[in-house]
Amino acid sequence: MLSTMQDVPLTVTRILMHGVQVHGRSQITTWTGEGEPQRRSFAEAGTRAVQLANALRDELGVRGDDRVATFMWNNAEHVEAYFAIPAMGAVLHTLNLRLPADQLVWVANHAADKVVIVNGSLLPLLAPLLPKLTTVEHVVVSGPGDRSLLDGARPRVHEYEELIADRPKTFDWPEIDERQAAAMCYTSGTTGDPKGVVFSHRSIYLHSMQVNMAQSMGLTDQDTSLVVVPQFHVNAWGLPHATFMTGVNMLMPDRFLQPAPLAEMIESERPTHAAAVPTIWQGLLGELTAKPRDVSSLTQVTIGGSACPPSLMEAFDKLGMRVCHAWGMTETSPLGTIARPPAHAIGTDEEFAYRITQGRFPAAVEARLSGPGGERLPWDGESAGELEVRGPWIAGAYYNGPDVEPLRPADKFSEDGWLKTGDVGTISADGFLTLTDRAKDVIKSGGEWISSVDLENALMSHPDVTEAAVVAVPDDKWGERPLATVVLREGSTADFESLRAFLAGDACRIAKWQLPERWSIIAAVPKTSVGKFDKKVLRKQYAEGELDVTQL
Ligand code: AMP
């Protein structure tokens, strides 16, 4: 028997219309670095999104599922593009401006982007690539920057503000099948070519509802969210869409992502929530320690993208900012888990232990663990295996070009269609995920696994260590052993023996056989285009003898 419910498609268009009408007074504030920030209401941004859609169709000839790329910071214009492009039936492709040039060219050509909307401040990065972007016909420039860099450019160049000015303020939005592509984003590609993940209207809609649930970020129109996580990195964790559903105000840092301006915007704009990867928070912590500011408005901080060191969580707790740890990936839209402790643990010794896990799966995300031989492992909090997930906002394949079968590589998708995350961990009986490593980063020593993440967290809890990354290096006797690379605080006199003793001591209790014997001081941990530790680089530096390694 079929239900008697209406079958109304779940679309980005609907989110836009709702945000404009019901939460029209909510604000998008964009930091400008000097003077007053730019302030724009949801109603104004929505109207400008309508004008942008008209311009893209009437002036630039965007039709059907043409791809319109953005090469932008987090700002109000980027939010306008977020809504205009999918609502008109086209596909938003957020280009990751931190990708190496050759990968950027590869992804723009692979996606066959027809238009690129770019921030003027990013023209020095984009302009040299334009001759190689074979499908791009139009470049639209928004915000300050040197236009002369585009002199002689092959694609036609337009000014964003001129392009949208005087356009109609209505658009007859097309009926959209909710399974149609709305946006695409390529994975950061630490191995092989980047892979295109294509989000549907439906997946974005459902994911936004999840982001808004009290057990997730749980924000309301009384909140202001400082969206540090880039809009080119998995849709800024879904925040621009989720906020239009609930009227949460957005504070956008634009290109001012350094610790000092971030601290300044928190003090003056008083956001209640912020979302970013751990490296940003580590930087902000240093800044606030050196120069205390009034950051008391910021009571909730969502950290994900890589593991949040417990020491960082404790430090922010002391500042009155409650960290909520979350896990996800481009392929999971990204929200996969979020660490809100269960009611029975609140106020007990168990609470912190729950908070430093990667968190609990929401109802829509099914999870299972797969052992080394492909066997299913129990949710007992001890058996570690590769995490596999499925659900309505989880990718089932990668984009492979128009009219071509999507890609389903066997190392990424199981035969029965689950996403193999490449993350290794345990799941407790009550559904909390604890990641112990990336499948490719785990250290296999004498037939046992050593978690590089556990060692890093322990090292980073040492007062003299600002950053630490641990990688597997070949070892004649044990197969692999851990190499600890550490960044020491300025002026520190800590030596390797004392750090090793710290790991073994009461503070960390790392088992003796797991303690690294190879150590190296580095100036900074190499990072990927989205600010995660790039262990591939460290492994290569070690292999090529570029690190100064001491063996204890
Ligand atoms: P990306 O697709 O670039 O967002 O990368 C996704 C990967 O980041 C995941 O597969 C994890 O390896 C890692 N990651 C994301 N969040 C966390 C977290 N909270 N703890 C540990 N690793 C994480």
- Fold match flag (258-439 vs 441-551): no
How far separated are the first and last CA of the chain, in Å rounded?
A: 71
Comparing C-alpha atoms, which of 86, 71, 97, 93 is closest to residue 196?
Answer: 93
Please name the amino acid found at residue 93: H
**Secondary structure (H, E, C), 423-484:** EEEEECCCCEEEEEEECCCCEEECCEEECHHHHHHHHHCCCCEEEEEEEEEEECCCEEEEEE
Index of the ligand 1 atom closest to the CA of residue 435? 21
Q: What is the rounded distance in angstroms from the CA atom of residue 331 to the CA atom of residue 309?
A: 24
**Residue 165: helix, strand or coil by DSSP?**
coil
Q: What is the rounded distance in angstroms from the CA atom of residue 432 to the CA atom of residue 403?
A: 40
449 is catalytic: yes
How far apart are the CA of 513 and the centre of ligand 1, in A? 27
How far apart are the CA of 56 and the centre of ligand 1, in A? 35
237 is catalytic: no
How far apart are the CA of 235 and the centre of ligand 1, in A? 15
How far apart are the CA of 277 and the centre of ligand 1, in A? 10
Index of the ligand 1 atom closest to the CA of residue 421? 10
Per the CB < 8 A criterion, the answer to whether 12 and 179 are in contact is no
Write down the catalytic residue from 32, 137, 267, 449: 449
For position 316, what pLDDT does the model report?
94
Index of the ligand 1 atom closest to the CA of residue 307? 20
Q: Specify whether domain 441-551 bears CATH 3.30.200.20.
A: no
190 is catalytic: no
Show the tokens assigned to 525.
Answer: 């941990």
For position 200, what pLDDT does the model report?
98
Q: What is the rounded distance in angstroms from the CA atom of residue 373 to the CA atom of residue 547?
A: 35
Q: What is the rounded distance in angstroms from the CA atom of residue 313 to the CA atom of residue 127?
A: 40
Q: What is the rounded distance in angstroms from the CA atom of residue 3 to the CA atom of residue 218?
A: 30
Q: What is the rounded distance in angstroms from the CA atom of residue 525 to the CA atom of residue 396?
A: 33
Q: Whose CA is nearest to atom 17 of ligand 1?
A: 306
What is the number of helices (H) and of strands (E) in the chain? Answer: 16, 27
How far apart are the CA of 184 and the centre of ligand 1, in A? 18
Q: What is the pLDDT along the chain (552 residues), one digit of tens a residue?
A: 999 999 999 999 999 999 999 999 999 999 999 899 999 999 999 999 999 999 999 999 999 999 999 999 999 999 999 999 999 999 999 999 988 899 999 999 999 999 999 999 999 999 999 999 999 999 999 999 999 999 988 899 999 999 999 999 999 999 999 999 999 999 865 556 789 999 999 999 999 999 999 999 999 999 999 999 999 999 999 999 999 999 999 999 999 999 999 999 999 999 999 999 988 998 999 999 999 999 999 999 999 998 899 999 999 999 999 999 999 999 999 999 999 999 999 999 999 999 999 999 999 999 999 987 788 999 999 999 999 999 999 999 999 998 899 999 998 999 999 999 999 999 999 999 999 888 788 888 876 778 898 899 999 999 999 999 999 999 888 888 999 999 999 899 899 999 999 999 998 989 888 999 999 999 999 988 777 889 989 999 999 999 999 999
Show the tokens assigned to 33.
Answer: 């670095």
| Architecture of the domain spanning 7-23+32-214 | 3-Layer(aba) Sandwich (3.40)
For position 447, what pLDDT does the model report?
67
Distance of CA 327 to the CA centre of its chain: 10
**pTM (two decimals):** 0.89
pLDDT tens digits, residue range 194-220? 899 999 999 999 999 999 999 999 999
Write down the catalytic residue from 444, 448, 513, 540: 444
Write down the catalytic residue from 13, 29, 30, 187: 187
Q: What is the rounded distance in angstroms from the CA atom of residue 313 to the CA atom of residue 336?
A: 20
187 is catalytic: yes
Q: Whose CA is nearest to atom 10 of ligand 1?
A: 329
Q: Where are the domains of the chain?
A: 7-23+32-214, 258-439, 441-551
Q: Whose CA is nearest to atom 21 of ligand 1?
A: 307
Per the CB < 8 A criterion, the answer to whether 419 and 412 are in contact is yes
Q: Which fold has domain 258-439?
A: Rossmann fold (3.40.50)
Cβ neighbours, 10 Å, residue 304? 27
